[in-house]
Amino acid sequence: MNFDTSCLHAGYRPGNGEPRNIPIIQSTTFRYETSEDMGKLFDLEAEGYFYTRLQNPTSDAVAARLCALEGGAAAMLLSSGQAANFFAVFNLASAGDHIVASSAIYGGTYNLFAVTMKRMGIEFTFVDPDCSQEELDAAFQPNTKALFGETIANPALTVLDIEKFAKAAHAHGVPLIVDNTFATPALCRPFEWGADIVTHSTTKYLDGHAAAVGGAIVDSGNFDWEAHKDKYPGLTTPDESYHGITYTQRFGLGGAFITKAVAQLMRDFGATPAPMNAWLLGMGMETLPLRMAKHCANAQGVAEFLQKHEKVAWVRYAGLPGDKYYDLARKYLPHGCCGVVSFGVKGGRAAAGRFMAGLELASIATHVADAKTCVLHPASATHRQMNDAELAAAGVSPDLVRLSVGIEDVNDLIADLEQALNQV
């Protein structure tokens, strides 16, 4: 199936007389005839469901759809994007280990890594994603277990040179994990450029309607854990907490990573999506290609309008010729650069505030990447406690406005922006 067809049909094929839509299996438990039947499930010897904290048919069907869209070997859904990034890294690294990550990542992920996972004994080195291959190489240590970056970073809108990152990761015998939230597989499929594991906050474009918080991990099945056996004993030696299973031997390279993440981490942390939320995600993905094309076209139109406006100081959008990431975007994002645009209003913080107050159609919201246009002024919201010097250090200028362009008629969006800019 081609991509657009997979969005509708991958992961679920109804049998004769069965529901056309993926059924919502809103049940915590599943019934068996004998204890032996259930025992085989606990030993991972038979396939089937026993408790929704570990696996649920609705979630599995939707995960299989996303797996097909990314071109992966196995996938799982989680209750949030935060859980997805935590599981993806913690499935490989323990206390005493080290991770290299791009510094241009979502603030919540940065805090998860630099504060919370550091408290668990995992060290992180953050690198400028635009650094040279040599600088990237220099960040690795003998105990490094993975390299991490975002395809299009939130909110910096940097575009990751995935091939450069994959080359460095593989030269040091570790996998590249890419958070593909802003691009989605409709715009970029990181496995095609050498990434090994993809994560998502499905809360954003994949769901697309701001209806359900969720996350996902997809494994390409390409990274050879057995070739780096000493580095990844959790995958390549018996798991005594799970009946002595060796994940690579029992499930092969395509199944080891996700099976371990479900059997150990989902069992112990329980970051499980509700079946209803998984279903909403599956429904959202049906229209992903249509929505992404409209988001990209609208954002391009809005960015071009803003660039020409006399009250706008600067615009960042990788689809604009002259943008620092234009060339990387042409390589990795030939079908568009998603719907998020950032720009500065002349006159700084006060002018940005007046502009925001003047908007009528765009909602002020901390969210990004859903069907309805929303806008945020970080200096007076998420970064409110910082003074101008601190904002500069965080890469957020006082005039910065983050606009998440929706799928409305672009003329209505431009008219709203114009009348709000006129009030500045």
400, 378 contact by CB (below 8 A): yes
Question: How are beta strands 144-150 and 176-179 bridged, if at all?
Answer: parallel
Name the segment binding ligand PLP (CB under 6 A); options: 105-113, 292-300, 332-340, 342-350.
105-113
Residues with Cβ within 8 Å of 334's Cβ and at least 6 positions away in sequence, in order, are: none
Comparing CB distances to ligand PLP, the nearer of 6 and 181 is 181
- Count of other CB atoms within 10 angstroms of residue 120: 12
The one-letter code for the residue type at 178 is V
Name the segment binding ligand PLP (CB under 6 A); options: 3-11, 81-89, 122-130, 156-164.
81-89
Comparing CB distances to ligand PLP, the nearer of 55 and 203 is 203
Half-sphere exposure of 384 (CA within 13 A, CB side): 6
The two three-digit tokens of residue 406, written as one number = 């929706």
Burial of 313 (0-12, 13-18, 19+ CB in 10 A): middle
Does residue 82 belong to the site contacting ligand PLP (CB under 6 A)? yes
Judged by CB under 6 A, which of 60, 161, 179, 196 binds ligand PLP?
A: 179
Judged by CB under 6 A, which of 58, 59, 144, 154 binds ligand PLP?
A: 154
417 forms beta bridges with none
Comparing CB distances to ligand PLP, the nearer of 253 and 288 is 288
Judged by CB under 6 A, which of 103, 181, 259, 397 binds ligand PLP?
A: 181
388, 352 contact by CB (below 8 A): no
Comparing CB distances to ligand PLP, the nearer of 105 and 235 is 105
Site string for ligand PLP, 205-244 (x = CB under 6 A): --------x-x-----------------------------
d(CA 228, CA 81): 28
Name the segment binding ligand PLP (CB under 6 A); options: 95-103, 106-114, 166-174, 393-401.
106-114
Comparing CB distances to ligand PLP, the nearer of 65 and 200 is 200
User: Which residues in 103-169 belong to E strands, given as ranges?
Assistant: 123-127, 144-150
Nearest residue relative to ligand PLP (C-beta): 81
CA distances from 348 to 82, 213, 316, 396 (A): 32, 33, 16, 12
Judged by CB under 6 A, which of 203, 220, 248, 277 binds ligand PLP?
A: 203
Comparing CB distances to ligand PLP, the nearer of 201 and 300 is 201
Cα 266-170-2 angle, rounded to 5 deg? 65
Residues in touch with ligand PLP (CB under 6 A): 80-82, 85, 106, 108-109, 150, 154, 179, 181, 201, 203, 213, 215
